[in-house]
Amino acid sequence: MTMNQKMDAIIWDGTSYPGCLSYQQVDIPKPAPGWVSFNTQAVGICGSDLHIVHGEVNWLIPKKNIPAILGHENAGVVIAVGEGVTDLKPGDRVAVEPLHGCMQFGNTCQMCAIGKYHICQNGLVHVGVPLKEMLPGGFGEYSVAHHTRCFKIPDSVSLEEAALLDILAVDVHAANLARPGVGTTAAVMGCGVIGLDMIQTLRAWGVTEIIAVAKHPFQGEVARSLGAKEIVLMQQDIDPVNEVIQLTDGWGVDQVYECVGGLTDAVDQSTRMCHPGGNVLMLGGASGSRPIDLQTMLIREVNIISCMSYSTYEGKREFQIALNMLRDRQVDHRCLITHRFRPNEYRKAFDAAMNKRKNKALKVMFTREK
C-alpha cells in the first residue's frame, strides 16, 4: 500500500449532531520520523466525542483543526513506521495511548521532563481530540501516533479489549493518587465505563467494600457483577448521599471516585459521602461551573484530588500498568462492549451511544476486526 492512497473516515465538520457527521474519503496520514501509522481495527465512542459532536466544547476548538477525525480509544495493526523507529514493525498489533506531550514534537517542558506529560505546559496533544493540534483519530481507517505511544498487545488480548485501555489508564491514575488498599471503603459515583473500570481497578488494589452509585438499573447490575458490594440507584426520590451514609452506619466512606462530570452536582455530593478527613477523586470532566459547599468541606477537612488523564507514576507508564491488568485478567473489558458497528453505520452508533438508557448501552464501538 502506498501512502498517497485514500481512506474512509467519519468526518466532523464543526457543527452539531446529527448533520455534523459524514462518511468520506480523505488522504491516509503518513508517519513522520519517530511516528507510526496503523490501521484502526477497534475504536470506542467516548463521552467526550459526544460532547464535541453536540457542539458543547466548540469554543475550545481552533478553527484550523476543523474538519476533524475524532476517536481516541484506539487499537489496530501497524502498517508503516517512520524513520528511526526500531521497536515496532508492520503487522504488530498495538493499543494506542492518545496523549502526546511536547517531547513528541521536539520540545521539553518541565512537566514532560519529569514524566507528567498529561499536564504538559505547552498544551497536551491528543489523538482524535482537536483541541491543540489535529492528529487524525480512530474514526478514520488509518491513524498515526508517536512510537512511544504504541503498546504491543499480547496474543491473549483482543483489539476490542485493548481499545478501552485509555479508560482503564485513567482509573489506574486515580488509584495511584489515592493509594487505596485492603480495608479501604469506597464509593464510585457513576457507572458508565469509567466507573465500571474504576470498580475493577479498586478490586485489583484490594478494595472489597465498594458502593456503586448508578444512574440506570442495567449499569447497577453490571457494577454488582464486577465487584460492587452495594448499589445505589439515582432515582427521583432517592438522595444518593443519604443512601451512602446509611449504608456506612452514618459514617461515610474513606474515598469517593467521582466518574460523572458534566453539569451535575456529583462533586458536591461526593464530598458529603466521605467521612471527615476523607478524599474525593475527581475523574469526571465538568462542562461548566458548579456549586460546592466549601465551608462544610473545610469543617470536615474533606479533600478533592483532581485526576487529569494519566501518564507515569513512580517511573512506570500507567497505560502499561493498565495493559498488564487486562493481560492478567484483573479486568474484564469484554462485558463492557455492548454495541458494535461498522464505521459506515456511524449514525446508528452515535444514536445508540446517546440513548444509553433505551439501548442499555455501555461502550459503543466501531470495529473493523475480522
> What percent of the chain has pLDDT above 90?
90
Question: In this structure, what C-alpha cell is assigned to residue 355?
Answer: 440513548
CB–CB of 246/221 below 8 Å?
no
Give the DSSP per-residue string, 24-72.
EEEEPPPPPTTEEEEEEEEEE--HHHHHHHTTTTGGGS-GGG-SB----
pLDDT at 290: 80
- Min mean pLDDT across 47-61, 107-121, 143-157, 240-254 is at 47-61
Instruction: Assess whether pLDDT exceeds 60 at residue 328.
Output: yes
267 Cβ contact partners less than 8 Å away, ≥ 6 residues apart: 258, 280, 282, 284, 286, 290, 292, 304
- Min mean pLDDT across 20-29, 223-232, 255-264, 298-307 is at 255-264
Mean pLDDT over all residues of the chain? 95
Distances in Å between the Cα of 103 and the Cα atoms of 3, 111, 149, 195, 343 are 26, 10, 12, 31, 32
* Threshold 0.85, pTM exceeds: yes
Q: DSSP label at 205?
A: T
Model confidence at 291, in pLDDT bands (50, 70, 90)? Answer: confident
CB–CB of 220/191 below 8 Å?
yes
Q: Could you tell me which of 113, 140, 114, 112 has the C-alpha nearest to residue 125?
A: 112
pLDDT in tens, 39-86: 999 999 999 999 999 988 878 899 999 999 999 999 999 999 999 999
Q: Peptide bond preceding 18: is omega within 30 degrees of 0, i.e. cis?
A: yes
CA distance 345 to 310: 31
Domains located in the chain, CATH noted:
6-164+333-367 (3.90.180.10), 167-306 (3.90.180.10)
Q: Which residue has the higher pLDDT, 9 or 237?
A: 9
CB–CB of 363/223 below 8 Å?
no
Distances in Å between the Cα of 305 and the Cα atoms of 176, 257, 281 are 11, 10, 5
Average pLDDT estimate for 350-355: 97
pLDDT at 133: 86
pLDDT at 127: 96
Burial 214-245 (b: 16+ CB within 10 A, else e): bbbebbbebbbebbbbbbbbbeeeeebbebbb
Average pLDDT estimate for 294-301: 94
pLDDT in tens, 159-169: 999 999 999 99
Average pLDDT estimate for 174-194: 97
Q: DSSP label at 183?
A: T
pLDDT at 369: 67
Q: DSSP label at 15?
A: S
CA distance 197 to 47: 15
Instruction: Assess whether pLDDT exceeds 80 at residue 321.
Output: yes
- The helix/strand count (H/E) of the chain reads as 12, 19
Chain centroid to CA 221: 21
Instruction: Assess whether pLDDT exceeds 60 at residue 297.
Output: yes
Chain centroid to CA 225: 21
Average pLDDT estimate for 221-245: 95
CB–CB of 287/296 below 8 Å?
no
pLDDT at 1: 40
Give the DSSP per-residue string, 104-163.
GGT---HHHHTT-GGG-TT--EETTBTTSS----TTBSEEEEEGGGEEEPPTTS-HHHHH
Model confidence at 2, in pLDDT bands (50, 70, 90)? Answer: very low
> What percent of the chain has pLDDT above 70?
98
pLDDT in tens, 95-142: 999 999 999 999 999 999 999 999 999 999 999 999 888 899 999 999
Model confidence at 289, in pLDDT bands (50, 70, 90)? Answer: confident
